[in-house]
Every structure is written in C-alpha cells, then in structure tokens.
Amino acid sequence: MTKNPIAATAVSLLALGLAFGVTPAMAAKMDVTIGMQLEPPNLDPTGGAAAAIDEVVYANVFEGLTRFGSDGAILPALAESWEISDDGLVYTFKLHTGVKFHDGSDFNADDVKFSLDRARAEGSTNAQKALFADIASVDVVDPATVKVTLSKPNGSFLFNMAWGDAVIVAPETAADNAAKPVGTGPFTLTEWVKGDRVELGRYDGYWGTPVKLDKVTFKFISDPTAAFAAMMAGDLDAYPAFPAPENLVQFEADPRFKVITGSSEGETILAMNNKKPPLDNVKVREAIAHAIDRQAIIDGAMFGYGTPIGTHFAPHNPAYVDLTAQSAYDPEKSKALLAEAGVSDLTLSLKLPPPSYARRGGEIIAAQLREVGINTDITNVEWAQWLDDVFKAKNFDLTIVSHTEPMDIGIYARDDYYFQYGDPDFKAIMADLANATDPAKRTELMQAAQKKIADDYVNAYLFQLARAGVISAKLKGIWLNSPTQANDMTGVYWEE
C-alpha cells in the first residue's frame, strides 16, 4: 500500500463524507445489518456453547482447518488440502501461507497444534470436547504442514474440524478472545455494544478472496415484535432466523423483502420422562403420540413453517425414513390406549422454555391432550431454569424442545440423558453404527435406529424446525440452509 499522505487524506476525507452521509446516492451500499435473536455471551467459539457465538464469528472472524459450505459440504479453509493415511488414522494438512491473524501476527502450523491441544486438554472449557476425543497427537511437520494422528479411525473427523468449536486461535490472544476475538477471518471486531450490537469491519490483511462488504452489524433483537418492526422500518437488512413465523406472510407480500426458507437441524419434539410413571408405560407414550395433531401445531405455532417428522431425524438427510403415519393423529386410538394402560385422570407437568415453538406449541398440545382426557400443568421457564430443572434434575413429565445439533440421534443411547431412554438394543445399534464404514450399512443402521425410537414412542416427534428468514430483496449471497449455526457473510453483497 502506498504511503502517500495526500491519498491518505483523501481517503479520510471520503470516510468523513461517508460519516456525514454526503456520499452520492449512486454508490453501492457497503454495509449490512443482520438481525439476531440472541446476543452471544462472548465471542470465543472455543469457550462457550451458545449458538449465537458461531452466528457472529463463524467464517467471519474465525476459521478452522475445514469449513461448512452452504449446502453442508466440507470445504477446505485454512487447510489448503489434506491427505488421509490408508488406515484412516493420520491426517496431514497442508496449510495456506501468508495468512495473518487480525493482530498482524502470522498464522502457521504451531497455531494449529496449539488450538487443537488446547481444546482437548484437561480442564478445557470447550463445550464440544468430544469433537477432539479421538485425537492422539498433533505434530508440526513444518510451518505449513500439520499432522494429526487419531487413536481410531473416525469417518467424521473432517466434519468435526469444520465446527466453530474447532477454529484456529493464536496462543498470544487465545485467552482474551471472549471479549477481543482475534482470528484469521475476513472481518474483525470493531465494536461490541453489549445488549445491542456487534460490529465487524473488513480486515484488509485477509488472505483469501476479498469480501464485498466494508462493515457487518449484528443487531440483537430478541423480541419478535421489535424484530418485525425493525425489518419493516428498514433498520435491518436481513434476519436469517426470523423468530416470528406469523409475520412471514406480511414480508412475502412486500416486494422490498424476500422470505427464505430452508431446513435446519432442529428436530422439535415433545420429550417425555421415560422413567417416570406412568410415562414409563409405552402405551401411555403411544397414546400421547396419537393425541397430537402435528399439522395443527405447525399451522398454529409455526404458521405453516415446518415439516412433520415421525422420528428423531432430519427429513433432508438421505437416510431419513418417514414414520409419521405410525403416530398419526388419532384421538380415539389414544383414548383406547390410555384405557388399556389403565390410566385415568392423568395430569402431567409440561415445562416450556422461551422459544415460541415451545410456548405456543405447548398451548396447542395441552389443548390436544385435554381432548383425550390428559390434563397438563403448564409452567413457562427460562432456559437457565429449564437446564436445572428439566435437563439436570429431570423434574418434569413433558417438555418441548428443538434439538438443533446435526446428526444427534445418538443422544438416545445416553443413559442419563434427560428423557431417560437408554434402551440396550438401541445402544447396540449405535455401537454398530460407530464402527461401520460402509455407507449402505450405515444408512441401514441409521434407519433401524429411527424405527426403534419410533416404535418405542420415546418422545412425540413433532416437526423439523424451518429456518425461515427475511432478507432485503437486493441482498445476495446469504446462506439458505443452515448446516451449522452461522451467518457466513463472506459471499454477501448488494445487488446494484
């Protein structure tokens, strides 16, 4: 870059002009404001579980060895290429050179080793430590080459490395990333007004394809009305995961906006406490499943956005089996099953976390259950309380929650998981799956698992959460689907 003082003055004058809004109207808009429902508690994806962290920094501020594409494919990121040993145990990553962290320091293989070792170390506060569980060692071959040795073959290792929790950080700045994130991405943090917004500015030293935006603002508007008003008033350019599906109709009718709908990884279920009588009786669980009219819930709570599911699996996955018919809406059958189980005058607690799928869905389910003679005791809880009361203490009968982690049917194999299933047969299926490498065999096992939990009516499976967002009609390059929770702004631009 030239060190011409006159040019610099001109640039800053121009910047001044921008600030005062005297730029010619013709100039392309270079900034974008994105609405988000939750504010990230911090900005360190390796030190927190909140999805909101990734939604701000993933691909924008931090990068990993690999990354997700908008279609869910695994793409190279900081690793230019990689080789996998034949036994599947050794991954040799060839790194990009000339990569700089936002503080100006160089990125090299040492940073990769540091990041991976830090994440898997004892006392690590990485929320997804399991991603790194199979790593046996990380070795620096040369500044541009890293060798990762696994303790056992893991078919999803590259997938794991694409997660936000596996981004590469620099040793000097890792401790402060929560408030001052320093990554290698195309954007750097310029300001964080807590409770209001995070602003990212373009990082000029970025190694990859330059981004087309100067500035990205993530604005945190949890209140759906406020979100609606803010979009309508033009305060926001996009709200990729719009919290109020009821307003989408209005956006669709407005030429200024485009409504994007894609699928998400969120299986929304009515979870049941499988160990608590009378829910330990499969007949009672089946009765509940038959009492529920999924379409009414999707229409009533989600205003039509959502796909009915009959098991805990994402419908867009090729291995998905449609089992909705098995638990079709049939109140008469439900009543018969309850009678068969010898249950009458049943009152169940229904604890509802804050999202509207739970609060609204809960009201509808309560009404539907009442039709078959089951009373519910609704308690609205905050997430913190839900974690304590439902997730940890298992003090509940029913709850509604959307499981948004990708490919998470494995939770049914956990003994102490909150809905307390842990069936030995199911565990066996999952064990086989972990060892299977043949795609056909894997599909078969996955389908068996889906059927097993549907047959056992572990939970009542409601619908796959739609990812419905609103964007300004002129904004291009936003992800339609969400293979992971992220707002990848690297390809976003304004149409002239």
Question: What is the torsional sign of CA 376, 381, 383, 389?
Answer: negative
Identity of residue 147: K
Among 93, 132, 391, 461, binds other proteins (CB under 8 A): 391
Q: How many residues bind other proteins (CB under 8 A)?
A: 68
Residue 151 φ/ψ, nearest 5 degrees? -80, -25
Cα 159-165-167 angle, rounded to 5 deg: 85
Minimum separation from the CB atom of position 123 to other proteins (A): 5
Number of Cβ within 10 Å of residue 87's Cβ equals 9
The distance of closest approach from Cβ of residue 380 to other proteins in the complex, given in angstroms and rounded to an integer, is: 5
Supply the minimum distance, in Å, between the C-beta of residue 353 and other proteins: 11
Residue 370 binds to other proteins (criterion: CB under 8 A): yes
392 binding other proteins? (CB under 8 A): yes
Task: Return the number of the residue (6 or 384) whose C-beta is nearest other proteins.
Answer: 384
Q: Smallest distance from the beta carbon of 354 to other proteins, in angstroms? A: 8
Residue 349 binds other proteins, judged by CB under 8 A: no
Q: How far is the CB of 86 from other proteins (least distance, A)?
A: 32
With respect to other proteins, which residue has the nearer C-beta, 122 or 204? 122
CB atoms within 10 A of CB 392: 11
Q: Identify residues 197-226 at the interface with other proteins (CB under 8 A).
A: 197, 219-226
Identify the DSSP state of 387: I
By CB under 8 A, is residue 16 in contact with other proteins? Answer: no
Q: Which residue has the tokens 């060839």?
A: 94
User: Shortest distance, CB of residue 462 to other proteins, whole angstroms?
Assistant: 14
User: Considering only 139-147, 263-271, 383-391, 451-459, which stretch makes contact with other proteins by CB under 8 A?
Assistant: 383-391
Q: Which of 126, 264, 334, 484 binds other proteins (CB under 8 A)?
A: 126
Judged by CB under 8 A, does residue 395 bind other proteins?
no
234 binds other proteins (CB under 8 A): yes
List CB contacts of 488: < 8 A, sequence separation 6 or more: 58, 59, 60, 70, 479
Both tokens of 41, joined, read: 């508690």
Distance of CA 407 to the CA centre of its chain: 11
Distance of alpha carbon 198 from alpha carbon 219, whole angstroms: 7
Rule CB under 8 A: say whether 364 interacts with other proteins. yes
Residues forming beta bridges with residue 260, ordered by sequence position: 469
> How far, CA to CA in Å, does 66 sit from each of 19, 81, 96?
37, 9, 12
Give me the DSSP letters along 445-460: HHHHHHHHHHHTT-SE
CB of 291 closer than 8 Å to CB of 369: yes
CA neighbor of 401 nearest in space, from 409, 393, 391? 391
Site mask for other proteins (CB under 8 A), range 241-270, x = bound: ---x-xx-xx--------------------
User: Is residue 299 within the footprint of other proteins (CB under 8 A)?
Assistant: yes
Of 58, 82, 39, 69, residue with least CA distance to 166 = 58
The binder of other proteins chosen from 41, 72, 278, 491 (CB under 8 A): 41
Q: Within 10 Å of residue 77's Cβ, how many Cβ atoms?
A: 23
Q: Which is nearer to other proteins, 42 or 307 (CB)?
A: 42
Closer of 107 and 418 to other proteins (Cβ): 418
CA distance 50 to 47: 9
3-class DSSP state of 229: helix
Q: Does 473 help bind other proteins (rule: CB under 8 A)? A: no
Site string for other proteins, 303-342 (x = CB under 8 A): ----------------------------------------
Can residue 490 be called a binding residue for other proteins (CB under 8 A)?
no
CA 31 to CA 195: how far, in whole Å? 21
Is residue 42 close enough to count as binding other proteins by CB under 8 A?
A: yes
Residues forming the site for other proteins (CB under 8 A): 39, 41-42, 48-50, 122-130, 178-179, 193-197, 219-226, 228-230, 232-235, 244, 246-247, 249-250, 296, 299-300, 354, 359-360, 362-364, 366-367, 370, 378-385, 387-389, 391-392, 405
